[in-house]
Amino acid sequence: MWFLNPALAIFGAAAVSIPIIIHLLNKRKFERVVWAAMRFLRVSVEQNQRRVQIEDILLLILRCLLLLLLGLALARPTIKSFGGGGWFGQAKVTAVLLLDNSYSMTARDGNKSRFDEAKQAAVQAIESLPTGSSVAVLFASDYVPTGPIPEPTFDLELAKNTIKEAKPSDRATDLYPAVRRALDALKDKRAGQREIYLITDAQALGWRKFNDIRNSLEEVRKDIHPNVVLVGAAQTRNVGISGLRLVSGPSVAGHPLHFEVQVTNYGLEDEKDVRVKLRVDGDPPSDEGTIDTLPKGASRSVPLWAKLKTEGGHSVTATIEADRLPADDVRTLAVRALPQVKVLVVENDPSRGRESDSFYLRGALLPVPRVDVESHYNKVTTIAATELDTTKLDQYDAVFLCNVPDFSEQTANAFADYLKRGGGLVIFPGEAVNKTAYNSLLLEKHQFLPAALGDSVGDAAKDDQFFSLQDKNFDHPIATLWNDAQAGTLNVHFFRKVDLKPTVDEKAAPEKTMAADGTEIGRPRTVLRYQDGSPAMMERTWGAGRVILFSSTANTAWNDLGARPHVFIPLLSRTLGSIVSRQDEGLNVKVGERFNWRAEGRMVGREALVYKPGTDTMNAAVADRREIGRAGNLPLLTFDETSTAGAYTVKVGGDEPVNFVFAAQPDADESRLDELANQQVDDLGKVADVTKWSGGTSLTDTLTKKRVGTEFWKYLALIALALATAETILAHRFSKAK
């Protein structure tokens, strides 16, 4: 048993002595008088004395019990739960409140979102704290949390107002960092009790590190008391946009671009007639499509088209009809529209006409009549291999090497600088290629190549013996077009090829590594395979650029690829598109990820205005201001506050102002409806107080009862009232003449 007002319990115990003292002080004293009838009274007194004594003792006991019970009732006795009170009331509490603000919390249960319920629960949790307590408020999602009140404050009204004004983010959920942060914040706090309040939904994704969370709470359960409040009812239906990408060639202004919108049914039943729309820069939809049936747990891709009217940055947005989780019904992609694409083609002897190494390649890059070549967006320049050393590569978006024998150390270094700045290098081998030079300079020294060049196999003179490409399961973005049967088949014959020998395992290798000079080198990936599983085309990112390696020639010396324009043209277009898009990959970041923009050296020190999604880009007062600085020798603009999904507009001032768009995209896994299993909830309940709260009950009363236990002062007061009534009745009865 515990007392919320223990001082009054002591007072009640001491008050028991009052009726005893009064009883002793009020004993009547008799004066002895001898008279004739005394002997008759003596007989009467002797007969009643024992009864009178019993009556007096009974009244004394009732009065003592009455005062004791009144004192105990005023002391508010409880059956203690986890730490009730001190000498002057409940013990003060130092608390950390973790409020889940991930986008699954925007799911609506009727008129209220889960986040609204969570805020209401958070306010009531603070109201349950005893007077003199302090609380810190942190937002919890998929990163080490910071918050509006990172250290405990005694201003509980400030904490409540801060929570009431809180907004949800578009981040995903990982609650473990938040729990660790809360435990660290309370570790050095020794005054009073220490408590954690984690207010979240039961989505399984947030509890992905369930065992780590449980173990962390179990380690401190003797010193810190954790409370977990779960809000929101289980959802059974949700359709969300899980992907949006540009899948056609380079994004050139004024030309139709092919986008692919992936829609996923996260619900427990099939969905019908899911309409998908695509719009550019907030304009009316440029295209739309409908998924007739979307089975539960399945994803479907919808091909849609759009045109970027002007050169520069644009936002392309896909939408579906809003449902109970509106955050995943919209997805935005930032796209930079180019005025043209400049391509450099390098071969041994461009003067050989149809026999040259690049004849079919140039035709596929410019698939229009000769009279329209000048107006085509691809601008192709062809040079001989001997001119490479004196050519400035930075003026080209991509460089194609067609059967180039070898190159100097100077050219290899120029390739490195070119790739670092976002260029693209495409290599077609041939009989003239010096494989040793390629492997030595481009693979071993610079690590450009995604694979080593091995032996040449096959006989180009035998048309009846050839290698065929895979016909299904295309997983690289360049090749996914051929997953659609309407795109045709890759019916190409390769009579001779170079064995591409990957130096690392694609699946086991890390996503990226760093060169000695800090250059980021991507993991090699296979774009196309032959039927026997060997690589036919591979790629890897290097710096801000991309290197693509084919296993056969660009002309028809080793294959008939150039004679099959229905394959060669889209393959080259998508290859060129992947190179150009690599330069713009930094324009699309995950929600919460830092955005980095490489500026020109002349821009260092300039102020950039960053407008978040939904803000007025004509009002500078609502923009976030950042200065372009340097990271090492690199001019860089950084922006960390990307917790909101959508398009961000950046305006850089100066004599030559620059405007562009970047986008933050949410984690599609946050749309999943899977919840904690009942067994997990039970296991969590062994190390924390778990409350499933829906807003229909008072969380303040629930948490107070859990902290101080079950109070039963009302029952003591009722018993005291009964004793007072009995004492009054008996006292009146006993006072009558005997």
pLDDT by residue (tens digit) across 620-676?
Answer: 999 999 999 988 777 899 999 999 999 999 999 888 889 999 999 999 999 999 999
For the segment 426-437, what is each residue's pLDDT rounded down to a tens digit? 999 999 999 999
Q: What's the mean per-residue pLDDT of the chain?
A: 87
> Looking at domain 341-585, which of 3.30.300.30, 3.40.190.10, 3.40.50.880, 3.40.50.720 is its CATH number?
3.40.50.880
- In this prediction, residue 505 carries a pLDDT of 87
Residue 413 has pLDDT above 50, yes or no: yes
Grouping H, G, I as helix, E, B as strand and the rest as coil, residue 173 is coil
Residue 86 has pLDDT above 50, yes or no: no
For the segment 203-228, what is each residue's pLDDT rounded down to a tens digit? 999 999 999 999 999 999 888 999 99
- In this prediction, residue 109 carries a pLDDT of 80
Which residues of the chain form CATH 3.40.50.410? 89-235+673-708
Residue 191 has pLDDT above 90, yes or no: no
What's the mean pLDDT in 20-30?
60
What's the mean pLDDT in 313-318?
96
Residue 272 has pLDDT above 90, yes or no: yes
Which residues of the chain form CATH 2.60.40.10? 240-302+315-338
- In this prediction, residue 88 carries a pLDDT of 43
- In this prediction, residue 66 carries a pLDDT of 72
Provide the 8-state DSSP code for 119. Answer: H
- 708 pLDDT band (50/70/90 cuts)? low
Cα–Cα distance, 727 to 725 (Å, whole number): 5
Buried b (16+ CB within 10 A) or exposed e, 364-387: bbbeeeeeeeeebbbbbebeebee
% residues pLDDT > 90 (the chain):
66
The string of DSSP letters for 346-412 reads: EES-GGGGGGSTTHHHHHHHS-S-GGGGGGSSEEEEEEEGGGGGG--GGG-SEEEEES-----HHHH
Which residues of the chain form CATH 3.40.50.880? 341-585
Q: Which residue has the higher pLDDT, 42 or 492?
A: 492
Q: Which residue has the higher pLDDT, 411 or 52?
A: 411
For residue 95, what are the β-bridge partners? 135, 195
- In this prediction, residue 16 carries a pLDDT of 60
Q: Which residue has the higher pLDDT, 592 or 30?
A: 592
- 280 pLDDT band (50/70/90 cuts)? very high
Helical pair 114-127 and 156-164, crossing angle rounded to 10 deg = 170
Beta strands (DSSP E) in 459-587 are 467-468, 493-494, 496-501, 512-514, 520-522, 525-529, 535-542, 545-550
Query: Thinking of the domain 240-302+315-338, which architecture would CATH place it in?
Result: Sandwich (2.60)
Composition of the chain by helix, strand, coil, percent to 5: 35, 30, 35
Angle at 236 between CA 230 and CA 239, to 5 degrees: 110
Cα–Cα distance, 156 to 78 (Å, whole number): 26
For residue 272, what are the β-bridge partners? 293
- In this prediction, residue 577 carries a pLDDT of 92
Contact 524, 476 (CB under 8 A): no
Give, rounded to a whole angstrom, the gap between the first and last alpha carbons of the chain. Answer: 45
Residue from 277, 238, 282, 167 nearest 646 by CA: 282
- 32 pLDDT band (50/70/90 cuts)? low
Place of tokens 């003797």: 222
Grouping H, G, I as helix, E, B as strand and the rest as coil, residue 517 is coil
Q: Determine the topology of domain 89-235+673-708 in CATH.
A: Rossmann fold (3.40.50)
How, if at all, do strands 239-246 and 224-231 pair? unpaired
Q: Which of 7-16, 281-290, 677-686 has the lowest mean pLDDT?
A: 7-16
- In this prediction, residue 738 carries a pLDDT of 53
Residue 262 has pLDDT above 50, yes or no: yes
- 696 pLDDT band (50/70/90 cuts)? confident
What's the mean pLDDT in 351-362?
91
Residue 82 has pLDDT above 60, yes or no: no
What's the mean pLDDT in 404-411?
92
Say which CATH class 589-664 falls into: mainly beta
Residue 87 has pLDDT above 50, yes or no: no
Contact 251, 308 (CB under 8 A): yes
CA distances from 606 to 99, 619, 630, 640, 648 (A): 37, 19, 12, 18, 18
Query: How would you list the strands of the sheet with 629-631, edge to edge?
Result: 595-598, 634-639, 629-631
